[in-house]
Amino acid sequence: MRVRQVPGRWWREVDWAKVGAIAAVLLGAGSLLFTGIATYYGALVAKDQLEESRESNEQDRREQATRVSYWLDRTKDGELQIHVVNRSPDPVPSAVLHLYAKQFGDMEVFGKTLPPCSETLYPRTSLKVNSPLGGFTQDLEGRWDVASLVFVDRDGESWRRTSGSLAQLASNSPSPASPAWRVWVVGDLKVKPVTPCRD
């Protein structure tokens, strides 16, 4: 008589220790893959946040400086005048105009404080050129133009504005040599409020 073999149950023949080890390896690899992907995307988010923070800091640093400007125009009488505007709610403690005239070369208008939310007018008739040798002054005549406006913002940072640019001056850069010709303001300057003036 033949003995019939009854097939055993398959789960009894499996080496569950090996299956457990293989499952642990696969789960570990999956966990490492998930962690790697999460870390990568976390780094991308952190990089974007850092760039936004840098842009925000740059905007904050330039905030008052972007609101200080100048231009040159003519009065109703045809006289040249300089407009210097501070559209920020903070005063500008020092603002120095740099002028250029063919007759005199580089000139510097002594610095003034710019009140907050104000426009200061410098009529040509109020600007007197002082000789580098001293002793005499004369009217600012002939062809001249504003080369730049150098000013200090509320944070003590120095800036140079020209007709086409705004640049922060490095604190460790050497000061430019003062021009030989100085321009004095004679009389009171007209200062008027400006709008809009932002906080």
pLDDT at 177: 57
- Residue 58 sits in the same domain as residue 87: no
Residue 146 belongs to some domain of the structure: yes
| Parent domain of 170 | 65-193
Percent of the chain with pLDDT over 90: 29
pTM of the model: 0.67
SS (H, E, C) 79-107: CEEEEEEECCCCCEEEEEEEEEECCCEEE
The answer to whether position 4 is within a domain reads no
Q: What is the pLDDT of residues 78-101, one digit of tens each?
A: 888 999 999 999 999 999 999 988
Total number of domains in the chain: 2
Indicate whether 108 and 143 sit together in one domain.
yes
* 81 within some domain: yes
The predicted pLDDT at position 71 comes to: 94
Kindly state whether residues 99 and 165 are assigned to the same domain.
yes
Query: Does residue 134 lie within any of the structural domains?
Result: yes
Of the residues 6, 41, 62, which one is the last residue of a structural domain? 62
CA distance 58 to 90: 18
**Inter-residue contact 174 to 158 (CB < 8 Å):** no
In a domain, 184, yes or no: yes
pLDDT tens readout for residues 121-152: 998 888 888 876 666 677 777 788 899 999 99
